[in-house]
Amino acid sequence: MSNCHICGCILDNPKDPTSRDCGGDCLKCMADSGDPDCIRSMSKVLVQKSFEDLAFGQRFLMGIKRTGTGQFPFSVDCPTQEDFVSKRADGHYVDETLNAMWWAWQEGRKNGGLDY
Ligand SMILES: [Zn+2]
């Protein structure tokens, strides 16, 4: 395992897509230094992160159930965000619904003229 020459973060950390190894430096540092390919990859990572935050928020709300009366008559049936957005080795989400939503999200952005 190696670290970014610029910021020292661990490269290719599976939990942090901005740590991708771009020749010894992480994606985030390369984007910050102005590399056009890295800027584009970085904006894709950030767009996907905001998608995941929104999708998880929806999932959390759907998991709230009324379980009775009293002071807090609710229970929440929801995985952690990390589990909810976990990905397979091929980069797709484990949850097929999430794959469909992510595809639709990207199509919507393309139709709006956005290239990430
Ligand atoms: Zn770095």
pLDDT in tens, 35-49: 999 999 999 999 999
Distance between Cα 2 and ligand 1 center (Å): 11
Cβ(78)–Cβ(60) below 8 Å: yes
Q: Is 93 helix (H, G, I), strand (E, B) or coil?
A: strand
**51-105 pLDDT, tens digit each:** 999 999 999 999 999 998 888 899 999 999 999 999 998 889 999 999 999 999 9
Q: Is the pLDDT of residue 115 over 80?
A: no
| Single-letter residue type at 6 | I
Q: Is the pLDDT of residue 6 over 90?
A: yes
pLDDT for the residue numbered 116: 75
In whole angstroms, what is the distance from residue 3 CA to residue 26 CA?
Answer: 8
* pTM, entire model: 0.81
Distance between Cα 78 and ligand 1 center (Å): 33
Question: Which residues have C-beta under 5 Å from ligand 1, the single-atom ion?
Answer: 4, 6-7, 26, 29
Distance between Cα 98 and ligand 1 center (Å): 29
